[in-house]
A and B are shown apart, each in its own frame.
Chain A
Amino acid sequence: MKLLEVESLVTELGETDNWLRAVNGISLTVNAGETYCLVGESGSGKSVTALSIMGLLPADRFRHPDGRVWLHEPGGEALELLNANDEQLRSVRGRRIGMIFQEPMTSLNPVLTIGEQLDEVLRIHQPDLNAEARRERILTALEEVLISDPANRILEYPHRLSGGQRQRVMIAMALICEPALLIADEPTTALDVTVQAEILKLMRELQARYGMGMLFITHDFGVVAQIADTVGVMRHGELVESGKTFDVLSNPQHAYTRSLIAALPERLPRSPRPPASAQTLLAVDNLSVYFPIRQGLMRRVVDQFHAVDEVSLQVNAGEVLALVGESGCGKTTLGRALLRLQAATTGSIHLEGRDITHLSRAEMRPLRRRMQVVFQDPGSSLNPRLPIHTSLIEPMRVHGIGEDDNARTRRAVRFLERVEMPADSLWRYPHEFSGGQRQRLAIARALVLEPRFILCDEITSALDVSVQAGILRLLRELVDEDGIGMLFITHNMGVVDYLADRMAVMHKARLVETGRTAAVMADPQNLHTKTLLDAVPRLNESFLQTRSGRAPTEPETSCQ
């Protein structure tokens, strides 16, 4: 049964004389009990499509020159959403269409309890229910999304819940009026993979129970493979390809879909590796980082928070060690402690055989050029007020590389070519570059000092897959050709699979497993490693060979 029908939808954003076409002639159909996945890179118009359907675009800043969106009612009549008035839209939103947003941290109102927020939805859409009945409904809804002890939970405020729990509450809120259609805009992107796996499983189960239609927006082909019945690939506001998930993923017709799937890190072509060097570059011994928890007037230390607990690892020259783990497990703190950006509580760090754990700031300075870092967020990794030239030249000047600024500029140009950026980038400012380009520039800034060791802290997690593929290829080359040692912090198993020689898994501040990537991936010894690997939604050969569609909805072995 057809539930939602979008007919050549065109959405333009802008103002009186300046319109930008964000969605260009999209047609799709969502049937009851089915999931339609819209997949595409950032800026492809996925979210604008969802917002257009819900009528949630900013007032007076959009127009629809063309298109129809029909929401079919069970009785047979249909409501056209684009030209519906506010009253009609309000009655449809929440009751017929539920929506889940990407960011669980901000989609709940922090000053109201969970119960009050759920209650409000019910009060508006089901005014005939009395308080007692509403409470029953709320408790059932929270039980359905597997929130433990709902009777107490409804009295709590959102900050008491973790990201995954909040997303569950959001789902409960979207489903409480039993909508026929659920629109989910990247609902799992901000969550850890293990939590993502649970949420996806929950959504599949709920869909099977209520027979909802679902419009699911994502950028992750792994998620598509897990949840979608039908998939539509978007690019520049157009639907370039759509069809049954299995058909599209196993036999993509459009060149863009093919390039997107080929850009998945686990599917990138791998070049033969030079033999690994035995020279140890960086050795970490029993390193711990504790943060004191202070209380009271005198700021007395009452307890220690163990961010990193007795971690030992080593990185060889010409080797990539991947450090994986869930958010909050201490990966980034460990990285910062290695670089002496964060004081270590106990343990030792040796760089090329020299103990650097307790060197002073001044003694550390000449060693800084031996170890460099590239950070996660392309938006803040370069100083926005300085041209690239200054950002690249200043470290060289401080470390006495090159005789004068002309020589340094020539050097900077050479490294820009190395990271495949044009030489005239030197005179530009960071805001003129895209995320991927900024990460390349940040890599160039690290490289100009000719470091032996580079720490990469989730440097591709904010990037689109095709951009990520380019950066990963570049890093691979750097390690293979220059013999740099690299510690790559990530949560993306595909990236680990492509890039890392060895991997180390962290869980709750401790290192739980270390080993060669292929060995760990194939046969994880530790329970947490296993959980982490199982949770990763992947588009691998086994999926394409064995499954003819999405994963089955019957209960699987629990992840926990």
Chain B
Amino acid sequence: MTELSADTDMKQPSQPWTTQVAASLLRRTSARIGLSWIGLLVIIATFSPFLASSHPLYLVVDGQASSPLLQHMTPLDWIWLSGLPMILVIALLPLPLWKKFLSVLIGLAFTAMIAYTLASPPALVIYEQYRELEDTGKVETIIRAPIPYSAKDYLRDYADTGIESPLLTSEQRTHWMGTDENGADVASRMIHASRIALGIGFIATGIALVIGTIIGGLMGYFSGIVDIIGMRLVEIFEAIPTLFLLLSFVAFFGRSIYMMMVIIGITAWSGYARYVRAEFLKLRQQDFVQAAVACGLPLRSILFRHMLPNGLAPLLVATSFGVASAILAEATLSFLGLGLIDDPSWGQLLNQAVQSSTFNWWLAVFPGGAIFLTVFSYNLLGESLRDAVDPHTNRSKRA
């Protein structure tokens, strides 16, 4: 009887599990909200030089046309610009997941190599020159970015610069979100800071994920003595307070965003290792894994084809929360004044809101809002992912 009734279901098109989860994820409003904010952030981060820059996009002086913006593009700008379309194209190619992942990594490394050899922006950047040229009337045509201030343009040509509320700006200049204590445009700094927020989230979590999956997978599959040693290692790393480690590294080795990513990454893997270990311990006893062993399949196939995809679900959920906490860690460090020195960061802007004698609301509202929205989006995504991969919540929705 059961076999007969299943025949009617056979007409449904087959969907891999990943497609089902993705479809069920996109049906959820909270996931849509989270994904659209993160997507918007990715676009802003990628095109940030075109959105906010003191360098004009197109400039004609004395009959000579030039594009100072393109000349001043750093290698990192080029990597972002070419990386996004590359990732999108590779994502659409019909390749297995691990091949996609590998080709993205190779592609990014390749672009980085080319960008660092070819792009050579001038070492000395004078932001004021265009405004001075304009004032002297030599400029014939000029096309500027929507926010005509670079993140590090402290507006030295206007002698009166300093911290300014968006409501009080002079007629000469418009700062949609005011300026910070150095006189730089807050909107511009926030746009450029989105790269750091995204980068630290992805790279730190990526490092943690790779270490955690490998160690956790080995612990779960081999168990026994490997498991005992691995768990002690996990406990050691869980005992390290990330923030204090970051503080001491900053004190000894100076400030570097990459160092922060690595430190957050190598202290955060223990959670993922626990998840993967638990999943693998469970999966090892499953019949299909035993059957794969009995078929004589190689260990590589058993671990990565039969076990890992089945244990991925809780890991994905943990990852999206992990990204959020990495962003918060960086923001916290910058807020404490131990973040990057000159480079823009949301946490650093937030810090300035309370530093002077008055409360500068625009420095609290906009960067704080951005941090809140980003962390909130990742949490929303994590929550919906949990619902999407969990068959129980699915069933109760349908039944």
Q: In the complex, A364 Cα to B295 Cα: how many Å?
A: 10
B310 CB contacts on chain A under 8 angstroms: 383-385
Q: Which of B145-153, B165-173, B298-306, B329-337 contacts A (4 or more CB under 8 A)?
A: B298-306
| CB neighbors of A among B275-307 (8 A) | 286-288, 290-298, 301, 305-306
Q: Is the CB of B2 within 8 A of A42?
A: yes
Distance to closest chain A CB from B42 (angstroms) = 28
Q: Is the CB of B399 within 8 A of A432?
A: no
> Any chain A CB within 8 A of the CB of B12?
yes
Q: A366 — nearest CB in chain B belongs to which residue?
A: B296
Q: Which of A190-198, A343-351, A435-443 contacts B (4 or more CB under 8 A)?
A: A435-443
B15 CB contacts on chain A under 8 angstroms: 429
Distance to closest chain A CB from B392 (angstroms) = 13
- As a 0/1 sequence over residues 401 to 440 of chain A, the CB contacts with chain B under 8 angstroms (1 = contact) are 0000000000000000000001010011100111111000
> Any chain B CB within 8 A of the CB of A377?
yes
Q: In the complex, A372 Cα to B16 Cα: how many Å?
A: 27
Q: Is the CB of A380 within 8 A of B1?
A: no
Q: B293 — nearest CB in chain A belongs to which residue?
A: A341
Q: B1 — nearest CB in chain A belongs to which residue?
A: A41
Q: Is the CB of B294 within 8 A of A368?
A: yes
Q: Is the CB of B14 within 8 A of A428?
A: yes
Q: Which of B3-11, B45-53, B75-83, B317-325 contacts A (4 or more CB under 8 A)?
A: B3-11
For B297, give its contact among A42, A398, A470 (CB under 8 Å): A398
For B10, give its contact among A365, A376, A428 (CB under 8 Å): A428
Q: In the complex, A371 Cα to B296 Cα: how many Å?
A: 10
Interface size class of B (residues with CB under 8 A): 20 to 34
Q: B290 — nearest CB in chain A belongs to which residue?
A: A341
| CB neighbors of B among A1-28 (8 A) | 13-15
**With A341-B290, A387-B16 as given contacts, are A432 and B2 in contact (CB-CB < 8 Å)?**
no
Q: In the complex, A376 Cα to B292 Cα: how many Å?
A: 15
Q: In the complex, A446 Cα to B294 Cα: how many Å?
A: 9
**With A14-B399, A427-B14, A432-B14 as given contacts, are A395 and B2 in contact (CB-CB < 8 Å)?**
no
Q: Is the CB of A434 within 8 A of B3?
A: yes
| CB neighbors of B among A346-380 (8 A) | 364-369, 371-377, 380
Q: Is the CB of B2 within 8 A of A464?
A: yes
Number of residues in A with C-beta < 8 Å to the partner?
A: 57
Distance to closest chain A CB from B396 (angstroms) = 9
| CB neighbors of B among A40-72 (8 A) | 41-43, 61
Q: A448 — nearest CB in chain B belongs to which residue?
A: B295
B9 CB contacts on chain A under 8 angstroms: 432
**With A385-B17, A427-B14, A435-B2 as given contacts, are A398 and B287 in contact (CB-CB < 8 Å)?**
no
For A433, give its contact among B1, B6, B288 (CB under 8 Å): B6
> Any chain A CB within 8 A of the CB of B309?
yes
> Any chain B CB within 8 A of the CB of A39?
no
Q: Is the CB of B2 within 8 A of A43?
A: yes
A383 CB contacts on chain B under 8 angstroms: 288, 292, 306, 310
For A381, give its contact among B3, B6, B291, B297 (CB under 8 Å): B291
> Any chain B CB within 8 A of the CB of A276?
no
B17 CB contacts on chain A under 8 angstroms: 384-385, 429
| CB neighbors of A among B4-61 (8 A) | 5-6, 9-10, 12, 14-17
> Any chain B CB within 8 A of the CB of A166?
no
Q: B10 — nearest CB in chain A belongs to which residue?
A: A432
B293 CB contacts on chain A under 8 angstroms: 341
Q: Is the CB of A445 within 8 A of B291?
A: yes
Q: A371 — nearest CB in chain B belongs to which residue?
A: B294
Distance to closest chain A CB from B6 (angstroms) = 4
A464 CB contacts on chain B under 8 angstroms: 1-2
Q: B6 — nearest CB in chain A belongs to which residue?
A: A434
A-side interface mostly: mixed
Q: Is the CB of B296 within 8 A of A385?
A: no
B-side interface mostly: helix
Q: Is the CB of B291 within 8 A of A432?
A: no
Give how many A-B residue pairs fall within 8 Å (CB-CB).
111
> Any chain B CB within 8 A of the CB of A456?
no
Q: In the complex, A15 Cα to B399 Cα: how many Å?
A: 7
Q: In the complex, A383 Cα to B291 Cα: how many Å?
A: 10
For A376, give its contact among B5, B14, B287, B297 (CB under 8 Å): B287
For A377, give its contact among B14, B16, B287 (CB under 8 Å): B287
**With A15-B399, A373-B291, A436-B3 as given contacts, are A380 and B286 in contact (CB-CB < 8 Å)?**
yes
Q: Is the CB of B290 within 8 A of A373?
A: yes
Q: Is the CB of B287 within 8 A of A381?
A: yes
Q: A399 — nearest CB in chain B belongs to which residue?
A: B296
A466 CB contacts on chain B under 8 angstroms: 1
Q: In the complex, A530 Cα to B9 Cα: how many Å?
A: 45
Distance to closest chain A CB from B138 (angstroms) = 65
Q: In the complex, A371 Cα to B6 Cα: how many Å?
A: 31
Q: Is the CB of A429 within 8 A of B294?
A: no
Q: A368 — nearest CB in chain B belongs to which residue?
A: B296
A41 CB contacts on chain B under 8 angstroms: 1-2
Distance to closest chain A CB from B4 (angstroms) = 9
Q: Is the CB of A381 within 8 A of B288?
A: yes
Q: Is the CB of B291 within 8 A of A442?
A: yes
| CB neighbors of A among B133-192 (8 A) | none
Q: A259 — nearest CB in chain B belongs to which residue?
A: B1
A428 CB contacts on chain B under 8 angstroms: 10, 14
Distance to closest chain B CB from A334 (angstroms) = 15
Q: In the complex, A377 Cα to B12 Cα: how many Å?
A: 24
Q: Is the CB of A380 within 8 A of B287?
A: yes
- As a 0/1 sequence over residues 480 to 496 of chain A, the CB contacts with chain B under 8 angstroms (1 = contact) are 00000000000000000
A380 CB contacts on chain B under 8 angstroms: 286-288
B1 CB contacts on chain A under 8 angstroms: 41, 43, 235-236, 464, 466-467
A532 CB contacts on chain B under 8 angstroms: none
**With A13-B399, A429-B17 as given contacts, are A365 and B2 in contact (CB-CB < 8 Å)?**
no
A386 CB contacts on chain B under 8 angstroms: 305-306
**With A377-B287, A380-B288, A383-B310 as given contacts, are A449 and B295 in contact (CB-CB < 8 Å)?**
yes
Q: A428 — nearest CB in chain B belongs to which residue?
A: B14
Q: Is the CB of B3 within 8 A of A398?
A: no
Q: In the complex, A236 Cα to B136 Cα: how many Å?
A: 90
Q: A470 — nearest CB in chain B belongs to which residue?
A: B3
**With A366-B296, A368-B296 as given contacts, are A467 and B2 in contact (CB-CB < 8 Å)?**
yes
Distance to closest chain B CB from A429 (angstroms) = 6
Q: In the complex, A13 Cα to B398 Cα: how many Å?
A: 11
**With A15-B399, A341-B290, A429-B14 as given contacts, are A437 and B6 in contact (CB-CB < 8 Å)?**
yes
Q: Is the CB of A385 within 8 A of B2?
A: no
> Any chain B CB within 8 A of the CB of A503?
no
> Any chain B CB within 8 A of the CB of A143?
no
Q: In the complex, A375 Cα to B290 Cα: how many Å?
A: 9
- Count chain A CB atoms within 10 A of each CB in B9, B12, B290, B295 and give the residue with the most: B295
Q: Is the CB of B5 within 8 A of A434?
A: yes
Q: B285 — nearest CB in chain A belongs to which residue?
A: A380
Q: In the complex, A14 Cα to B61 Cα: how many Å?
A: 74
Distance to closest chain B CB from A462 (angstroms) = 11
Q: In the complex, A446 Cα to B12 Cα: how many Å?
A: 27
Q: A463 — nearest CB in chain B belongs to which residue?
A: B2
Distance to closest chain A CB from B16 (angstroms) = 7
Q: In the complex, A326 Cα to B1 Cα: how many Å?
A: 29
B5 CB contacts on chain A under 8 angstroms: 43, 434
> Any chain B CB within 8 A of the CB of A339?
yes
Q: B399 — nearest CB in chain A belongs to which residue?
A: A61
A367 CB contacts on chain B under 8 angstroms: 296
Distance to closest chain B CB from A90 (angstroms) = 25
**With A385-B310, A434-B2 as given contacts, are A395 and B16 in contact (CB-CB < 8 Å)?**
no
Q: In the complex, A384 Cα to B17 Cα: how many Å?
A: 8
**With A380-B287, A386-B305, A429-B14 as given contacts, are A339 and B2 in contact (CB-CB < 8 Å)?**
no
6 example contacts (A-B, Cβ-Cβ < 8 A) are as follows A373-B290, A381-B288, A387-B16, A395-B296, A398-B296, A428-B10
Contacts beyond the supplied A385-B310, A428-B10: 11 A-B pairs with Cβ under 8 Å? A341-B293, A368-B294, A368-B296, A369-B295, A398-B297, A398-B301, A399-B296, A432-B9, A434-B3, A436-B3, A445-B291
Q: Which 4 A-B pairs have CB atoms at the shortest separation, nearest pair first?
A: A368-B296, A375-B287, A395-B295, A434-B6
